[in-house]
């Protein structure tokens, strides 16, 4: 019984550390079809974290960041998403809704 309690406690602590290390979301990615987020397949939508890599394949992806910036990645495109920039590694993309700098 005591071993089960210790094991359960270890799992809870490990889960809390993992969630804290993951950071908070910077926005959401939405596509009509399958795309890849950090090499994991996604259908529909997914939360985006600072430094996430989105690979669109055959579906365009729309990104809405928490700071108001909107991004669109074209088909067969790949980009690394940060809260303040998009590093386009392949394909095409658009950015709109820049926050005011003044």
Give tens-digit pLDDT for 73-90.
999 999 999 988 899 999
Give tens-digit pLDDT for 23-39.
899 999 999 999 999 99
* Beta carbons within 10 angstroms of residue 75's beta carbon: 15
Q: Name the token pair of 74.
A: 């074209």
**DSSP of 53-76:** EEE-TTS-EEEEETTS-EEEE-TT
Strand partners, 40: 37
Q: Supply the pLDDT for residue 1.
A: 55
Q: Supply the pLDDT for residue 18.
A: 44
How large is the average pLDDT for residues 1-18? 50
Position 41 pLDDT exceeds 70: yes
pLDDT-based confidence at residue 2 (cuts at 50, 70, 90) = low
Cα 76 to chain centroid, rounded? 17
* Beta carbons within 10 angstroms of residue 77's beta carbon: 20
């Amino acid at each position: 019984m005591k071993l089960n309690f210790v094991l359960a406690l270890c799992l809870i602590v490990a889960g809390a550390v993992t969630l804290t290390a993951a950071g908070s979301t910077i926005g959401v990615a939405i596509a009509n079809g399958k795309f890849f987020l950090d090499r994991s397949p996604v259908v529909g939508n997914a939360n985006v974290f600072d430094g996430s890599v989105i690979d669109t394949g055959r579906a365009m992806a729309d990104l809405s960041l928490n700071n108001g910036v909107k991004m669109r990645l074209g088909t067969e495109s790949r980009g690394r998403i940060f809260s303040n920039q998009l590093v386009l590694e392949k394909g095409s993309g658009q950015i709109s809704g820049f926050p005011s700098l003044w």
